[in-house]
Structure 1
Amino acid sequence: MTRRTRDDRGAVATELVVVIPALVIIIGLLVAGGRIWLARQGVQEAAASAARAASLARGAGEARQAAEGSAAANLDTQGLTCRPAQVVVDTRGYARAPGTEATVGVTVTCTITLADVAVPGLPGSMTLTTRATSALDTFRSR
């Protein structure tokens, strides 16, 4: 009686052809997700820095300039290229009398291309918007 045996040669190569692309895709998604998270954190940091810079200004006009300059410098330091970067400064707190509690708020909106932050050649873009507030100096002078 003869016994038939199966030949397993080539099975590993076939398995690798299936497994390797799946691993590459999973690792690529993890890297892209991490880089998008870092970009989001960079925009949040820019908003917080801009709000702090605006809170140190003596007036609303000076606060807007300080916030825009701080946000632009921070985004540049983070290596984020926004298309376009929008900085909206809420200076209603400056209308309150000195000695009262007031805040200044900054909203930073940054549209980034996915090719810049995730995988080169990846089409599409993502808009990141964050808001930060900072307390005005209670005893500021005008």
Structure 2
Amino acid sequence: MKRRDERGSAAIEAAIGVPAFALFVGLIIFGGRTATTHEALQSAAADGARSASLARDAQGARADARAAAVASISNQKIGCSDVDVTVDTNDFNKQPGVPGSVEVTVSCRLNLSDLAVPGVPGSRVMQATMSSPIDTWRER
């Protein structure tokens, strides 16, 4: 009985296994980047909402929220572009003593073009929203 020659089988295994492993690693990096970016956006939105809730009026709240959220994103160095901060200050119109909150939504475009993983878009818009209660008895 003749034994089969196994020369070249390692090359075939590598040709099949290496791309699959590279795809797996790319998907792990994709998941890590999106999770890290979402967490950073949540932190930025929370910072913006907290800053806005301490303001005395709606105009100041919008300015404070934007400044805090943009500073938070730049400090975290997550590589987002087209950062947009939306502040809902409708509850600032309520009478003193009536509970209200301010809501901040932070969104940005995350660049994923360097991953080169099939099915992964070149960029992805991500967003997070947080709210904070307005001081019911704030001074106006």
Instruction: Tell me if both proteins adopt one fold, taking TM over 0.5 as the criterion.
Output: yes
Deviates more, 1:74-83 or 1:45-54: 74-83
The one-letter code matched in structure 2 to 1:12 is A
Tell me the SS of whatever aligns to 2:81. coil
1:45 CA drift (Å): 1.3
* Residue of structure 2 equivalent to 1:96: 94
In structure 1, what is the Cα distance between the partners aligned to 2:123 and 2:106?
Answer: 16
1:123 CA drift (Å): 6.5
1:10 CA drift (Å): 2.5
1:112 CA drift (Å): 2.2
Q: Structure 1 residues 119, 91: CA separation in 2 closer, same or farther (over 3 Å shift)?
A: same
* Residue of structure 2 equivalent to 1:119: 115
* Residue of structure 2 equivalent to 1:84: 82
User: Which of 72, 75, 78 lines up with 1:74 in the alignment?
Assistant: 72
Tell me the SS of whatever aligns to 1:83. strand
- Mapping of residues 5-84 of structure 1, within 5 Å: 5-84=3-82
1:4 CA drift (Å): 2.1
The one-letter code matched in structure 2 to 1:63 is A
In structure 2, what is the Cα distance between the partners aligned to 1:91 and 1:123?
Answer: 34
In structure 2, what is the Cα distance between the partners aligned to 1:18 and 1:55?
Answer: 56
Q: Residue deviations 1:16-69, cap 9 Å, x none?
A: 221122111111111111111111111121111101110011111110110000
Q: Which runs of 4+ in 1 moved over 4 A?
A: none
* Residue of structure 2 equivalent to 1:131: 129
Higher radius of gyration, 1 or 2: 1
Using the size of structure 1 for normalisation, the TM-score is 0.87
Q: Residue deviations 1:89-141, cap 9 Å, x none?
A: 111111111221110111112122214xx638x86221112211100112211
The one-letter code matched in structure 2 to 1:119 is L
Q: How many residues align?
A: 137
Cα RMSD over matched residues?
1.8
In structure 2, what is the Cα distance between the partners aligned to 1:44 and 1:93?
Answer: 21
Structure 2 gaps, min length 5: none
